[in-house]
Amino acid sequence: MSLTVLATGPLTTVQDLGRPGQAALGIGRSGACDRASAALANRLVGNRADDAVLEVTFGGLTVRAGADLLVVTTGARCPGAPHAAPTVLRRGQQLRLGPPVSGLRTYLAVRGGIAVPPVLGSRATDLLAGLGPAVVATGDVLPIGEPVDPAPGVDLAPVPEPTAGELTATVLPGPRADWFGDAGWAALTGQAWTVTSESNRVGLRLDGAPLERLRAGELPSEGMVRGALQVPPSGLPVLFLADHPVTGGYPVIGYVTDADVDACAQLRPGQALRLRPGRP
Amino acid sequence: MRLLPSGSAALLVELDGLDDVLALYAALSADPPHGVVDVVPAARTVLLMTDPAVTTLAAVADAVRTTTPRPDTRAVGDSIELPVHYDGADLADAAELLGLTPDELVARHTGAEWTVAFCGFAPGFGYLTQPGGQWEVPRRPTPRTAVPPGSVALAGEFSGVYPRESPGGWQLIGRTEVAVFDLAREPAALLRPGTTVRFVAVGR
């Protein structure tokens, strides 16, 4: 069984749950940027949690089925796709994902999973580290695995669409919040940040009124996880997503809660993000 | 030891220095607290990533506070030898910065064991330290855009080996033909926290 790629759109990668447990070797977790949507896609076609899916950035993917395949999309809804509703794609039939109505990343799950060879225990493409399967290219013939579990028989999963407007995410103080003081925390949580076009799978770059450091000096590099709001010398925070570096040398003022990072990963350039202080 | 918040699923432990980091990392990696999925040592910190479905940050914090560091087991991993051609482009500069001749630098670099303190920067890039080594080497004023793979280099108190071609600002003193990161090998990363390394000169 296979899926032939006829067009990829701006960026399509193979993703799964990533490579947890190897950060001490300098290997980041990577994996789907919007984990909840990728997990839902797998569940809807009866895949295992660690099966690989396609992460499609801003639509544009066209594929042709090499066999009868059960497929579904989740995340950003694309015209032409069976969104949150598993559908059989007949052998030879094409599936074409238009530009999403809202949101940025669409997950296409195929029953059996995308069965490209794993690298260090995962099929995730880590664009920062250059690990994992190559970025999906036109002409690729992607192998599909053998289903293990029974198909669930769900017709439709009602899930909210990614917002097209302003998103509010919960933020907790980070390890170096004291480098910015109360005024810095107020500035972080008191403005609507704009997502810039330099954003990618590594992180969301935010534009707004820069945060001011209370102290100068260097920070020895320290470990971090996704959701970190790292503040480089520009004072404009970067919200780290799936392919973030394992360690970083700029202070982390706060962390978006893990559950809210998924929604942030659906933000497009130009959209607004508000950070609401949460309770640890 | 200071416990610092790192979001809803991780905890950062800040320590006084690298020796304390290694001692705590040795204890935590030998016997990780329940629900900890990754332990990441760095220069002054140890990050613990947890699975929130299995544990709470409070429980992990308690476990860390009651962990006895193991300063006696600085080396928790394998011992390897890395043959090095000491013909790096910055060998003379680095020697001068240390007030040594190139031969003296090579003798000091090969004369004592190094330990991988932590990894980062790229998959398989280890930060190696030499206890009492008295290395304090500034980075190049301008980083190179492409450092060849296998380059053996110095920066600050650390020595390292570039796993693949990448930009870099460390002083290049030599090169090894051993692939320190090789996906075709198990394990792919040769330099893991706790691994001890002896560099062996195989010519200039």
* Short-list B100, B94, B84, B103, CA closest to B198: B84
* Short-list A49, A18, A22, A48, CA closest to A33: A18
> How close A82 comes to chain B (CA, Å)?
31
Q: Give the pTM.
A: 0.92
Over residues A264-277, the mean pLDDT reads 98
Work out the number of other CB atoms within 10 angstroms of the CB of residue A37. 27
CA distance A137 to A132: 14
- R_g (Cα) of chain A, nearest Å: 19
CA distance A104 to A118: 26
In this predicted structure, what is the pLDDT of residue B76? 62
Q: What are the tokens at A210? A: 């820069």
In this predicted structure, what is the pLDDT of residue B75? 53
Asked if A259's CB is within 8 angstroms of B49's CB, the reply is no
Residue A46 identity: G
Domain spans of chain A, in order of start: 2-143, 167-277
Average pLDDT, whole number, for chain A?
95
Could you please state the CATH topology (level 3) that the domain comprising B79-202 is classified under: Cyclophilin (2.40.100)
CA distance B24 to A23: 17
In this predicted structure, what is the pLDDT of residue A141? 98
Over residues A250-277, the mean pLDDT reads 97
Q: What are the tokens at A187? A: 């500035």
State the residue for tokens 């060998």.
B91
Q: Which of A29, A30, A179, A246 to mutate to test the interface with B (most CBs of B within 10 A)?
A: A246
CA distance A46 to A112: 8
Q: Which of B7, B46, B120 sits opposite A225 (nearest CB)?
A: B7
Q: Is A139's Cβ below 8 Å from some Cβ in B?
A: no
pLDDT digits (tens, 9 = 90+) for A60-105: 999 999 999 999 999 999 999 999 999 999 999 999 999 999 999 9
Residue B66 identity: T
In this predicted structure, what is the pLDDT of residue B133? 82
pLDDT digits (tens, 9 = 90+) for A98-127: 999 999 999 999 999 999 999 999 999 999
Class of domain B2-65: alpha beta
Query: pLDDT band at residue A11, thresholds of 50, 70 and 90?
Result: very high
CA A78, chain centre distance (Å): 16
Domain spans of chain B, in order of start: 2-65, 79-202
pLDDT, tens digit only, all 204 positions of chain B: 999 999 999 999 999 988 899 899 989 988 899 999 999 999 899 999 999 899 999 999 999 999 999 876 655 678 999 999 999 999 999 999 999 999 999 999 999 999 999 998 889 999 999 988 889 998 888 889 899 999 999 998 999 999 998 888 899 999 999 999 999 998 899 999 889 999 999 966
Asked if A222's CB is within 8 angstroms of B38's CB, the reply is no
In this predicted structure, what is the pLDDT of residue B74? 54
CA distance B200 to B178: 12
In this predicted structure, what is the pLDDT of residue A187? 98
pLDDT digits (tens, 9 = 90+) for A176-202: 999 999 999 999 999 999 999 999 999
CA distance B77 to A48: 34
In this predicted structure, what is the pLDDT of residue A150? 85
Of A263 and A217, the structure prediction assigns the larger pLDDT to A263
CA distance B70 to A264: 40
Q: What are the tokens at B43? A: 């220069």
Residue B176 identity: T
Work out the number of other CB atoms within 10 angstroms of the CB of residue A140. 19
* Short-list A184, A165, A166, A178, CA closest to A237: A184
Asked if A228's CB is within 8 angstroms of B122's CB, the reply is no
Q: What are the tokens at A71? A: 């497929």
Q: Angle at CA B37, nearest 5°, toward B194 and A30?
A: 95
CA distance A193 to B117: 38
Please state which architecture CATH assigns to domain A167-277: Beta Barrel (2.40)
CA distance B104 to B98: 10
ipTM: 0.90
| B102: alpha, beta or left? (left if phi > 0; alpha if psi -120 to 50) | alpha
CA distance A16 to A50: 6
